[in-house]
Amino acid sequence: MSVLPKAGLGFAGLAGASGLGYLGVKQFSSKPKETFKSKYALAVKGFLNDDKVLGKKVDALNQSSASPKHTDLLEAQKQKKASNDAGAKEALKRGCSDIYDKAIESDFLEDFKNYCSFNNEDKIETGKTLVADKNDFTNHLNSFKGKKVEELQAGFKSIKKPSEDGADETWKEAMLGECKRLSKEIFEGEIPNFKEFCAK
């Protein structure tokens, strides 16, 4: 084989390799981005059909001193302030539906968390409500003290157990604080400690 054909094969090989590299980069760059709907599937499942929770989110929009980023949520806020509950819910649903397909890296995380998804409080079983006072934990003292570290979830792991017989004020306040914090977090599945200690 002459030198020229060999050289031609070399160039062809380089072209082929670079072509494969380009395709690889193209395939990598075209990989679908994670969306709110895919990451938080449990938090959006059934949300748009839950009229009671939609009402709570519209009320939260109305009471908020801050403005949401999404235009449809701004419209929902406007409609609620005008006492148009039905219009507010429809605008909220449009906005949330659009946000669900946005990438996690977008600017709509706070809108999603506060107005377009179930949080842990929303998932408290019917007939029960979120604890509201530190004295609500008095009856949970023995149960909490009896749990092993591996039986505690989230921030409950870092709450120091009272050493004396009574439930001290520091422990009660820490428990109330953790329940309030978790109540506003996006629902990603049942948290046994939240269900046991934070609902009454």
Q: Are 159 and 145 in contact (CB under 8 A)?
A: no
Using alpha carbons, select from 134, 121, 122 the residue that is nearest to residue 51: 122
Higher pLDDT, 74 or 27: 74
Using alpha carbons, select from 81, 113, 75 the residue that is nearest to residue 95: 75
pLDDT cut 70: percent of the chain above it: 82
Give the CA count within 13 Å in the CB-facing half-sphere of 74: 6
Q: What is the tens place of the pLDDT at every residue in 145-161?
A: 899 989 999 899 999 88
Using alpha carbons, select from 135, 152, 162, 165 the residue that is nearest to residue 196: 152
Pick from 12-16, 140-144, 189-193: least confident = 12-16
Over 80: is that where the pLDDT of 43 sits?
yes
Give the CA count within 13 Å in the CB-facing half-sphere of 184: 8
142 Cβ contact partners less than 8 Å away, ≥ 6 residues apart: none
Q: What is the tens place of the pLDDT at every residue in 71-99?
A: 999 999 999 999 999 999 999 999 999 99
The alpha carbon dihedral of 40, 46, 48, 53 has a sign of negative
Over 90: is that where the pLDDT of 6 sits?
no
Mean of pLDDT over the chain: 88
Q: Measure CA of the first residue to CA of the last residue in the chain; give whole Å.
A: 87
